[in-house]
């Protein structure tokens, strides 16, 4: 650089790095000069060192003056560039990683080495390599050679807790012939590839860092774009995130805007957002450590708020807790602004030595859901008047994300099929139901029916109990709120029912008709997916089922409930203790659940008595009488079926004491046999089918 160059600012980061490269060359020259008279300083007494250095004092003095002048010029030019608004990557690193001037000097030395053209201590062919055992000590010697600081101070800036190292800007690698546990003097100091890219002007996060698990938003949407029941939560999150020692936990149901709140809070702080989905991150220990280092470093390079999504799903399976320290220690050592997004408090969170600020994100109220529907439903898309937004909100409680996803899907359907016309009710309901099914995942399946109440053949006594259940479901809100009973009931304000009786007596059919009558969805819990052999997994699955049911306004059906609501056992082993914990957890969730739960069982006596006390309605479905069976045979035959003149349902009802489910099976069998023979359904077909069905029940016809 010329003498006049220091009055101008840097035009870009490469000019500043070039000046630091020149400075590095002067430091190397100074070290060479010292070594020319003192090859091994370790064995020379201090008095002798002074005498030897005196012989090259002129050369050292000139080098020190040039280094000092260059330091002043670099500082002045950087200040001018800042005033002119020129962004210098090195100055961004200084600010964002909180680097000292010594850190900057160490970093630029490494940059000069990696860029080539400078003295390289790794080159064993170089004459200058004498007495340089590793580049770590080499850099310490370069910095300390001018007596500006001592070697210990320089070495401290390379410790594991120093900003350069903990941020991942530089890293240590063992020298050839040494393993990963090599001592410091036999480790090589390297600048990270991503640091090289950033200093060279590649500021945007590369795909190699983000992968499929992370997304970066330089300018996230602001709070004005959100529809929230608690709009002040964005400000509270921003204030909490502004303190780097704090850890913000945004807890709530999936799709309620937790990530959007974190992003809006980051925008208030003038920061971008690096969103990481922890459920997608690798769980291989070595790869996990490298991935976390890369993501945390990128968040610091971008001065972004790091948002860890699905934090409660990180290493949450049996035997994976050994992975927790890889994340918790990085959170402990980092100065990043971090927000966790979760449904439940992560098991590993207490291990993080930060001040926790927990913010509960509520599920959107019907009023907010209505506003989200209105905002996102395309104006050219018209719903059937019979299926208004008000009716959708009342029948289906969806999260913000589910509503937006539903409107997007309906818009695509409209472009392809309806072309601006009305979309029929069935299409809209199918899309909404798919969203509900997605929320419940593999834990439940929808149950729907094409039957109606005319197909029901039950005694008047049982129908009275079913109608009572239906009335309570329709009017319980008025009873609890308007009539004040909600204040009197600390728990148990939900609607629970137990339908017991032999198989095939209509228990599940009545459940589906009740859901149809109430305009709600019925979901049968898949116990094979819910019950898990690993400790705590069953409770986690049950918790998700109850949470999603209460949000989605669906009816839960526990078919064959005795398999999970069974009596608690005497504790004789750890297995018994954990089995009882599951039952206790169910009791707790049943008491707190304010939705509708229906359980069916073939054996009421096997249900835990504590459950029975908490069930509001118990309806017993007895085996049908002979008169009932004859009504079932007649009522279950579709009008399209042509019966033979010899058909006598009274004979079938008397001879085969079967419930309705088996009678329907027998009718289908008889119809299939008759169709295969090209005949109408005759008595012989029905008798043959009933005999088969009855024998499969374990009886002799």
User: Is the CB of residue 328 less than 8 Å from the CB of residue 352?
Assistant: yes
User: Is the CB of residue 14 less than 8 Å from the CB of residue 88?
Assistant: no
Q: Which of 457, 507, 392 is nearest to 624 (CA)?
A: 457
Q: What is the mean pLDDT of the chain?
A: 84
The sign of the torsion formed by the CA atoms of 571, 574, 575, 577 equals positive
Tokens of 617: 């309605």
Place of tokens 């937790």: 258
Measuring CA to CA, how many Å separate 563 from each of 247, 455, 608, 611?
A: 42, 30, 11, 13
User: Is the CB of residue 664 less than 8 Å from the CB of residue 633?
Assistant: no
Continuous segment of H or E residues that includes residue 113: helix 101-115
Higher-confidence residue: 185 or 350?
A: 350
Tell me, what's the pLDDT at 430?
83
Tell me, what's the pLDDT at 544?
79
Q: How does pLDDT run across 639-681, given as a tens digit for each residue?
A: 899 999 999 999 999 999 999 889 999 999 999 999 999 999 9
Tell me, what's the pLDDT at 148?
62
Higher-confidence residue: 247 or 317?
A: 247
pLDDT confidence bin for 548, thresholds 50/70/90: confident
Tell me, what's the pLDDT at 486?
65
Tell me, what's the pLDDT at 2?
45
Residues 244 and 437: their CA atoms lie apart, in Å, by 39
Tell me, what's the pLDDT at 122?
45
Residues 164 and 157: their CA atoms lie apart, in Å, by 8
Residues 108 and 102: their CA atoms lie apart, in Å, by 10
Taking 70 as the threshold, does the pLDDT of residue 7 lie above it? no
- Name the pairing type of β-strands 521-525 and 554-558: parallel
Tokens of 608: 């835990």
- Cross-strand bridge partners of residue 246: 355
Measuring CA to CA, how many Å separate 641 from each of 9, 239, 438?
A: 93, 72, 39
Among the ranges 78-92, 101-115, 473-487, 583-597, which has the highest mean pLDDT value?
Answer: 78-92
Taking 70 as the threshold, does the pLDDT of residue 581 lie above it? no
How open is the CA angle 667-668-672, to the nearest 5 degrees?
115
The burial of 94, by beta-carbon neighbours within 10 Å (0-12 exposed, 13-18 middle, 19 or more buried), is given as middle
Taking 80 as the threshold, does the pLDDT of residue 551 lie above it? no
Higher-confidence residue: 484 or 187?
A: 187
Among the residue ranges 315-324, 331-340, 550-559, 563-572, the one predicted with the least confidence is 563-572
Measuring CA to CA, how many Å separate 438 from each of 442, 446, 492?
A: 8, 11, 28
User: Is the CB of residue 385 less than 8 Å from the CB of residue 422?
Assistant: no
Structural domains for the chain: 5-199 (no CATH), 207-361 (3.40.50.300), 453-620 (3.40.50.300), 626-696 (1.10.8.60)
Q: How does pLDDT run across 336-388, given as a tens digit for each residue?
A: 999 999 998 999 999 999 999 999 999 999 899 999 999 998 777 767 777 78
630 CA to centre of own chain: 55
Q: How does pLDDT run across 289-341, given as a tens digit for each residue?
A: 999 999 999 999 999 999 999 999 999 888 899 999 999 999 999 989 999 99
3-class SS shares of the chain: helix, strand, coil, % to 5: 55, 10, 35
Residues 644 and 651: their CA atoms lie apart, in Å, by 15
pLDDT confidence bin for 414, thresholds 50/70/90: low
Taking 80 as the threshold, does the pLDDT of residue 39 lie above it? no
Higher-confidence residue: 131 or 172?
A: 172
Among the residue ranges 241-250, 266-275, 525-534, the one predicted with the least confidence is 525-534
Among the residue ranges 221-230, 272-281, 555-564, the one predicted with the least confidence is 555-564
Residues 422 and 285: their CA atoms lie apart, in Å, by 54
Rounded percentage of the chain residues whose pLDDT exceeds 70:
86
If one counts every other C-beta atom within 10 angstroms of the C-beta of residue 110, the result is: 22
| pTM assigned to the model | 0.78
Q: Which of 391, 397, 402 is nearest to 431 (CA)?
A: 402
Residues 376 and 411: their CA atoms lie apart, in Å, by 10
Measuring CA to CA, how many Å separate 642 from each of 295, 645, 665?
A: 71, 10, 17
Query: String of b and e for 138-156 (b: at least 16 CB within 10 Å)?
Result: bbbbbbbbbeeeeeeebbe
The pLDDT of 422-427, averaged and rounded, is 76
Residues 411 and 383: their CA atoms lie apart, in Å, by 11
Taking 90 as the threshold, does the pLDDT of residue 615 lie above it? no
The pLDDT of 105-123, averaged and rounded, is 73
Among the residue ranges 89-103, 491-505, 624-638, 644-658, the one predicted with the least confidence is 491-505
Higher-confidence residue: 591 or 446?
A: 446
Tokens of 444: 């439940």
Output phi, psi for 141, to 5 deg: -65, -40
Tell me, what's the pLDDT at 682?
93
pLDDT confidence bin for 572, thresholds 50/70/90: very low
Among the residue ranges 35-44, 188-197, 615-624, the one predicted with the least confidence is 35-44
Phi-psi region of 202 (alpha: psi -120 to 50; beta: other; left: phi over 0): beta
Continuous segment of H or E residues that includes residue 559: none
Residues 54 and 37: their CA atoms lie apart, in Å, by 10
- Cross-strand bridge partners of residue 643: 681
Continuous segment of H or E residues that includes residue 637: none
Tell me, what's the pLDDT at 135?
64
Q: Which of 236, 302, 247, 314 is nearest to 271 (CA)?
A: 302
């Amino acid at each position: 650089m010329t003498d006049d160059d220091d009055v101008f600012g840097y035009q870009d980061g490469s000019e500043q790095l070039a000046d630091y490269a020149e400075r590095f060359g002067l430091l190397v020259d100074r070290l060479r000069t010292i070594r020319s008279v003192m090859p091994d300083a370790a064995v020379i007494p201090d008095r002798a060192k002074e005498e030897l250095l005196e012989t090259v004092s002129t050369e050292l003095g000139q080098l020190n003056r040039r280094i000092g002048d260059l330091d002043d010029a670099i500082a002045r030019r950087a200040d001018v560039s800042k005033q002119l608004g020129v962004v210098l990557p090195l100055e961004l690193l200084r600010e964002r990683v909180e680097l000292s001037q010594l850190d900057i000097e160490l970093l630029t030395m490494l940059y000069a080495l990696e860029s080539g053209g400078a003295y390289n201590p790794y080159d064993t062919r170089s004459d200058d390599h004498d007495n340089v055992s590793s580049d770590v000590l080499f850099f310490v010697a370069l910095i300390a050679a001018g007596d500006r600081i001592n070697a210990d101070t320089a070495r401290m800036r390379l410790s594991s807790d120093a900003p350069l190292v903990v941020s991942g800007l530089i890293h240590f690698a063992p020298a050839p012939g040494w393993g990963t546990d090599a001592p410091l003097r036999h480790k090589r100091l390297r600048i990270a590839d991503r640091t090289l890219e950033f200093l060279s002007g590649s500021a945007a996060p590369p795909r190699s860092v983000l992968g499929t698990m992370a997304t970066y938003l330089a300018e996230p949407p602001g709070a004005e774009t959100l529809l929230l029941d608690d709009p002040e939560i964005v400000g509270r999150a921003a204030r909490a995130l502004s303190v780097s020692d704090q850890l913000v936990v945004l807890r709530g149901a999936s799709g309620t805007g937790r990530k959007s709140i974190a992003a809006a809070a980051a925008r208030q702080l003038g920061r971008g957002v690096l969103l990481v989905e922890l459920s997608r991150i690798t769980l291989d220990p070595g790869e996990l450590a490298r991935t976390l280092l890369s993501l945390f470093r990128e968040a610091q390079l971008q001065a972004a708020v790091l948002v860890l999504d699905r934090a409660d799903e990180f290493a949450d399976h049996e035997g994976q807790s050994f992975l927790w320290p890889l994340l918790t220690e990085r959170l402990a050592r980092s100065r990043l602004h971090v927000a966790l997004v979760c449904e439940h408090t992560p098991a590993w969170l207490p291990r993080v030595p930060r001040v926790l600020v927990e913010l509960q994100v509520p599920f959107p109220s019907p009023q907010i859901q209505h506003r989200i529907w209105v905002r996102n439903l395309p104006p050219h898309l018209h719903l059937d008047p019979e299926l208004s937004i008000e009716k959708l909100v009342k029948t289906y409680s969806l999260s913000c994300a589910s509503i937006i996803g539903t409107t997007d899907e309906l818009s695509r359907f409209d472009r392809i099929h309806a072309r601006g016309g009305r979309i029929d009710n069935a299409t809209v309901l199918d899309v909404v139901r798919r969203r509900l099914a997605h929320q419940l995942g593999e834990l439940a399946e929808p149950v729907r029916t094409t039957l109606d109440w005319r197909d029901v053949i039950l005694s008047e006594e049982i129908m009275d109990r079913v109608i009572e259940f239906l009335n309570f479901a329709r009017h319980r809100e008025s009873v609890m709120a308007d009539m004040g009973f909600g204040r009197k009931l600390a728990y148990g304000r939900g609607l629970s029912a137990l339908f017991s009786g032999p198989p095939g007596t209509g228990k599940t059919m009545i459940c589906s008709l009740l859901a149809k009558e109430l305009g709600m969805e019925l979901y049968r819990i898949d116990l094979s997916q819910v019950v898990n052999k690993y400790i705590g997994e069953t409770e986690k699955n049950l918790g998700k089922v109850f949470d999603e049911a209460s949000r989605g306004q669906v009816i839960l059906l526990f078919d064959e409930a005795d398999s999970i609501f069974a009596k608690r056992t005497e504790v004789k082993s750890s297995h018994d203790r954990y089995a009882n914990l599951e039952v206790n957890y169910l009791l707790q969730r049943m008491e707190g659940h304010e939705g509708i739960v229906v359980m069916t069982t073939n054996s009421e006596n096997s249900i835990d008595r504590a459950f029975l006390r908490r069930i509001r309605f118990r309806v017993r479905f007895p085996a049908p009488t002979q008169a009932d069976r004859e009504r079932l045979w007649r009522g279950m035959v579709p009008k399209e079926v042509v019966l033979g003149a010899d058909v006598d349902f009274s004979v079938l009802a008397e001879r085969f004491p079967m419930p309705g489910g088996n009678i329907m099976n027998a009718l289908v069998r008889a119809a299939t046999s008759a169709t295969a023979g090209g005949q109408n359904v005759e008595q012989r077909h029905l008798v043959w089918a009933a005999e088969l069905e009855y024998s499969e029940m374990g009886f002799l016809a």
